[in-house]
Amino acid sequence: MTIIQRPSPNHDERRLPISMIVLHYTGMKTADEALDRLCDAEAKVSAHWLVAEDGTLVQLVPEDRRAWHAGAAYWRGIADVNSASIGIELVNPGYEWGYRPFFEEQIGALEGLLRGIYGRVPGMDLANIVGHSDVAPRRKQDPGELFPWPRLAAAGLAVPMPNADVDPNWHDSGFLAALSRYGYDVSWPEAAVTAFQRRFRTRLVDGKIDAETRALLLSLMRGPAA
């Protein structure tokens, strides 16, 4: 993998140990536009890494520093997601500029980067490898339905994909309580359900709690042996 250093000024001290990785898409027309923004002091945004479409890795912020990528976010009791996470941006124009599948070289490079991070941060829970939409469901959609979570899961780089085998028949309030226990902020229920589906049921993302969505969450909470 080719690694380029392009330091961003947008970082500060971590307040928590690293326990998460948050994946984003850039949502801009080009990689150069995204890099310019991530390195613009006035923009006050950054990430630790950017993965270009050809697989080139760009390091923007040292991993021991707090990059400014998640914004107002929450996951599993952590409200300062920036302090607890490594942020990775994947070049993709996103929904606004023509969302498209991610490139093979790009995902291959991401897999190598994730393996390296796991080596530097041993013991990370795979359930803490999340998308921006997981930690900020009301505001964000990235990395979106086209992101290959099943591929990362099969490679042991993300939580195993759940099976919709058993509907627990929870009432909606029970489903939301379980979704909160899993890690999501359910303050905006439809947004939280949409984010969950965007991650685990990409064929139908409608924000509605149905039998399949309940079964997928039950499978996740039971774990890979379920």
Active-site positions read: 89
CA dist 70 to 23, 47, 83, 139, 213, Å?
A: 9, 9, 10, 10, 26
Other C-beta atoms within 10 Å of 223: how many?
A: 11
Tokens 């379920």 sit at which residue? 226
Other C-beta atoms within 10 Å of 101: how many?
A: 11
What's the distance, CA 218 to chain centroid? 21
HSE of 194 in the Cβ direction (CA atoms, 13 Å)?
17
CA angle 74, 80, 82 (to 5 degrees): 100
